[in-house]
Structure 1
């Protein structure tokens, strides 16, 4: 009989997406072979039609209500009084800026300590950026100790000056404030705010892929995010303003049907391979009141989907080239997000980018149960990854990936949670119960050519003009 050990810390991930809000509660289980799996305790999901656009909260009230319903459902399923969450953020306004920084250590005779890295990170969060921007993540790439460069792990080395090259992931300050507003209005506290693609990577990427070099492409509802890992370090991030909703809009315009009908067609019959349909295969779409149904050719739907996915793949390829990692990604591409389930999507991305290894990323290492089945497809990669963020880190060389001075601090008191205690996650404050607030009662413009869009989209994804690329 296999013995299991359960981590008493329970983590809740809250994915605020353009089409849905999903809350997942889970905890880590270790078996006697030291394998770790995630036990999903509760899942709550609410459709969101008018609250988030292209990853950014545009209607606070609608988003607040969607969060309330999703969290209440996850709370009821798991018998937890949920208070502390890891939350996702996204948006076409997100940029990745390369920067560098250094500190002079006070004790030159001692080895570099993790506290020195924390000091350097805190300094980088104070980097001067435009007033309408906010630094969400500071992620190191290569370190420098005195005159020695390209150091992966500086801890334990002797030196006076500690420096590093960083990625500063920034967002519109107003967009970040809106997310925090939606959290606090639900009497929740945010532990870590994490870029969706980084969370998804925790759920679907292997350590081997991240070392060999891999590009994660998260095709969400409003945005497509890309994160490139190489030698276990996050090297590049980009966000494109076209994703699943763009497919729906194209089908609506091309087939002259209503948006909800286009979404249903995409989910039930969508394919990126027009060759699998004959010219006589049609679907009758209900017309408006007192009007005849409209016949839609499934081959036409597939042609539309293929065209848009080719454009997104072209953007990904252009960004891989710009990042300097073209030809270096032995792990290939890993596609995730809801649109990664469209049949034929791997073939399109492989053909357009020229990358041989392309796979669809599913959340892995879930303890088998009915709730794990609910979140086992790519559409839930971000939500599951946010739970993993309580137990794994984006970069094991640093102790925090969100500005600790912005995190909500509470008194060290346990939360009543149906006989369980919910512990804080991430942020370097693990190991103590965290005081809680009681959970309240649940109450496109005209289509352009792919080349035009490619040239337009590369600009916003390039980030600040200070990017040295």
Structure 2
């Protein structure tokens, strides 16, 4: 039944708004049925600053996705990002009644739900509560307590909050575009579903998602989310630097970045010149590719240094055997992987969402630029925490067993009383027959 489920992801980014429609095939891979995108004019650094422009952009992307997929889109999984995102570690606990009874999924869920009622700074709202490690009767370091016995159940939680006004603005835009929100997910967590393997999460890995307005960080270790962060710089700041440094138009600066930009200036040819059209009645402007590379390298070094500082502050420096995975539109810059390795001293690779994708007529969905959109669709089939996936499977299995037991032709309460009545009838008939003999 889950294979028939259609899931739609809505990525409201600083550069683009993307709508992706997907369905799982018989091999468990994601088939992208359609995708629509539009220019994001009303969003700056992940924050909606113009409601009307954002609504128009969402509607345009939805219409394009509907036309390609042939599906009427009503419900979406929405990504959220921006400088207003905050993460912190908090500890929660519950006391169980019976020491000898096993800890159940319900106990774990009760502990997690209690964290949603914790006091947070005014103007913020909790969007994710993610357990890290549990403690059962002071026995700590437990990844999954279900099935153990104990009275006191405690856990450290990674709590992610967002500005309530930003959340309300996103909800308002989506609703006024004629859509309902099924889930609201932090974008780097969605991207992690699309580009990180379970082995990398187990070994320890840092995801760097370089978007247009921000760069998002997510650190995993032992298959558990350990740290998230947001850097207020992305690909757009590089474009702005090129615009100012080369004295060109914004659109020309973006083209220069994507077509000729290099993250390592040493790889640029000093004699290579790019000629771009001048303004009205002015001669063409010549741009040195070497100078362009110096501008790109300086800003990329700053972004990578800030990302590396997040790793150091998380306390997991030296524990990430999986290294760094770079994704997002900014990861497509020439030589960015080599610069990340040089600056951080860690292994790195570019994160493509290919692993979870089936055959698709839309080849562009395999680009790192659409990793978040793919992840938002995958959220409809998988949980952000692998333990939650297992709990759902157990719950479904128990429900099936319960349903099968109810359908079995066994002894029912009605059958028991029917047998008593029939037995009584037979005794009365026997007595009546005996009286006839007299």
TM-score, length-scaled by structure 2: 0.87
Equivalent residue, structure 1, for 2:225: 234
Q: Structure 1 residue 197 and structure 2 residue 188: aligned? A: yes
Q: CA deviation at 1:105?
A: 2.3
| Partner in structure 1 of residue 107 of structure 2 | 116
Corresponding residue of 1:438? none
Q: By percentage of residues, which structure has more helix?
A: 2
Match 1:152 to one of 143, 148, 152: 143
Residue 154 (structure 2) aligned to one of 153, 163, 188:
163
How far 1:114 moved relative to its partner?
Answer: 1.1
Aligned to 2:39: 47
Count of matched residue pairs: 394
Residues 24 and 42, structure 1, Cα contact 8 Å, conserved in 2:
yes
**1:139 counterpart = 2:130:** yes
Determine the structure 2 residue equivalent to 1:24: 20
Q: Secondary structure at the match of 2:216?
A: strand
Query: 1 CA distance for matches of 2:67 and 2:2?
Result: 21
Q: In structure 2, what is the Cα distance between the partners aligned to 1:382 and 1:133?
A: 24
Distance 2:14 2:71 in 1: 26
1:259 is matched with which residue: 232, 250, 258?
250
- Larger deviation, residues 264-273 vs 148-157: 264-273
Match of 1:407? none
Aligned mates of 1:152, 1:183 — CA distance in 2? 37
Query: In the TM superposition, what is the alpha-carbon distance from 1:280 to its structure 2 partner?
Result: 2.4
Provide Cα deviations, 1:6-54, integer angstroms capped at 9, x if missing partner.
80011101100000000110111133xxxx2110101001111x21111
- In structure 2, stretches of 5+ residues that fail to align are 400-438
* Distance in 2 between residues matched to 1:108 and 1:184, nearest whole Å: 47
Deviations 1:139-197 (A, max 9, x none): 11111112211110011111122111011111111001111111111121111111110
* Counterpart for residue 365 of structure 2: 375
TM alignment of 1:430-449, pairs within 5 A: none
Task: Evaluate the alpha carbon distance shift between residue 304 and residue 118 of structure 1 in structure 2; reply closer, same or farther with a 3 A threshold.
Answer: same
The 3-state SS of whatever aligns with 1:322 is helix
Q: Which residue of 2 aligns with 1:450?
A: none
2:5 to 3, 9, 24: 9
Partner of 1:452: none
> Which residue does the alignment assign to 1:104?
95
Change (3 A) 1:163 1:398: farther
Distance apart, 1:396 and its partner CA: 2.6
Contact 2:135-2:142 within 8 A present in 1 as well: yes
CA gap of 1:179–1:107, structure 2 versus 1, over 3 A, is farther
Aligned to 1:176: 167
The runs of at least 4 aligned residues of structure 1 exceeding 6 Å deviation read none
Q: Structure 1: where are the runs of 5+ without partners? A: 401-424, 432-469
| In structure 2, C-alpha distance between the alignment counterparts of 1:394 and 1:220, rounded to whole Å | 21
Give 3-state SS (helix, strand or coil) of 1:87's partner.
strand
Q: Which of 1 and 2 has greater Rg? A: 2
**234-243 vs 115-124, greater mean Cα deviation:** 115-124
